[in-house]
Chains A and B, each alone.
Chain A
Amino acid sequence: MKRKMVQIITTLITNSNFKGFTEGKIYRGNIKKVCVPGLNCYSCPGALGSCPIGSLQAVISSIKYEFSFYIVGILLLLGTLFGRFICGWLCPFGLFQELLNKIPSPKFKVSKKFQHLKYVKYIILVVFVFLLPMFFVNDIGLGDPAFCKYICPAGTLEGGIPLVLSNDSLKSAIGYLFAWKMALLVISIILSIILFRPFCRFICPLGAIYALFNPISLYRLEVDQHKCTSCRLCSNKCKLDIDVYKNPNSLECIRCGECVSICPQHAIKSAITHSNKHNI
């Protein structure tokens, strides 16, 4: 409940340009120079900040630069401090998927056979966020934000739908690409109802970046092996199918904290670590 409140408040704060939704325009103030931590399209009429993945592609695909020190620096800082805590607590699209997952329906776990799909998000990160914007350029050297253009359902949900609904000139410009992206959004919505956070687990390049920081991030989970009885309650409770008692800082862990509250021995703690001497 506490986490849900944080997610809702973060989503509202980072998307509080409410008049943008009625006017069909986006915020154009100075806060847009700064990235928000989660996946939040900067073409959302409510967005006050920039999307880190969109910004990364914008700089890489520009004529002037081939690498973005600014955005990579921001991601290094956020990742080192929080890791995938950002996915679990601060990402609007993560909240959207979790709310969809609350719709009553049969729920499925990802079977072992499909576990390797978690690596798809790393391929998407390398190919669509770095390589295509960098090398697939037009005659003047300008690339496309390939992930935003061809994959990102958050852009369709937060930017595409509200802008097309409230802006007649955009409505008249929609075509096959919009249909493709709407189809991806619908697939994401259906999968989110039956699976827990499918986009975060298999597709999200921002999650892939933060995941790499999970084992060393300042915010982390610790298991006290003296208290742990390996009862597997934490593993059974984990919606991301992580064996928490074996690997509390798994790359897939979004720090939802459900394992912490379910542990009868209070062996799992979430902590901000300054030293690793107490880590098991």
Chain B
Amino acid sequence: MENRIRRLLLLCGILFISTGIYRKEVGTVFIKAINICLECIGVG
């Protein structure tokens, strides 16, 4: 049973990552990550 859940979660993970890449979420992450996040450092 645990193995099945594990496989299902791994499959979901791969599908989710692929969906995220297809939806161009990576671009949003990238833009946030390469600019200083003022909120994160406590300035903004």
- Measured CB to CB, the residues of A under 8 A from B are 26-30, 32-33, 35, 41-43, 50, 54-55, 58-59, 62, 64-65, 68-77, 79-81, 144-145, 148-149, 152, 155-156, 159-160, 163-164, 170, 173-175, 177-178, 180-182, 213, 216-218, 273-276, 279
Contact B6 A148, beta carbon cutoff 8 Å: no
10 A-B pairs with CB atoms under 8 Å apart are: A29-B34, A33-B30, A35-B29, A65-B28, A70-B29, A71-B20, A72-B20, A77-B14, A178-B41, A216-B5
B2 neighbours in A (Cβ, 8 Å)? 216, 273, 276, 279
Contact A54 B37, beta carbon cutoff 8 Å: yes
Contact A28 B10, beta carbon cutoff 8 Å: no
State whether A42 and B23 are in contact (beta carbons under 8 Å apart), knowing that A32-B30, A76-B16 are contacts in the complex.
no
A163 neighbours in B (Cβ, 8 Å)? 36, 41
Starting from the known contacts A59-B28, A59-B29, A79-B9, 19 additional A-B residue pairs (CB-CB under 8 Å) come to A26-B36, A32-B33, A33-B33, A35-B29, A58-B32, A59-B25, A62-B28, A69-B16, A70-B29, A74-B13, A76-B10, A77-B10, A80-B10, A155-B41, A170-B36, A173-B38, A173-B43, A182-B42, A275-B3
Closest to B30 in A: A33
B26 to chain A, nearest CB (A): 5
State whether A77 and B13 are in contact (beta carbons under 8 Å apart), knowing that A41-B40, A65-B25, A160-B41 are contacts in the complex.
yes
- Measured CB to CB, the residues of B under 8 A from A are 1-3, 5-6, 9-10, 12-21, 23, 25-26, 28-30, 32-44
A75 neighbours in B (Cβ, 8 Å)? 13
> When A and B form their complex, what is the total count of cross-chain residue pairs whose Cβ atoms lie within 8 Å?
161
Contact B28 A69, beta carbon cutoff 8 Å: no
Q: Which of A76, A77, A160, A218 contacts B43 (CB 8 A)?
A: A160
Contact A80 B6, beta carbon cutoff 8 Å: yes
**Best-buried of B2, B17, B42 by chain A (most CB within 10 Å):** B42
Chain B contact residues, majority secondary structure: helix
Contact A73 B40, beta carbon cutoff 8 Å: no
Closest to A153 in B: B42
Q: Which of A29, A71, A181 contacts B42 (CB 8 A)?
A: A181
- Report Cα–Cα, A236/B12, bound state, in Å: 38
Contact B42 A174, beta carbon cutoff 8 Å: yes
Contact A64 B6, beta carbon cutoff 8 Å: no
Contact B42 A156, beta carbon cutoff 8 Å: yes
- Report Cα–Cα, A35/B43, bound state, in Å: 23
Q: Which of B9, B17, B19, B37 contacts A80 (CB 8 A)?
A: B9
- Report Cα–Cα, A81/B32, bound state, in Å: 27
Contact A178 B42, beta carbon cutoff 8 Å: yes
Contact B42 A76, beta carbon cutoff 8 Å: no
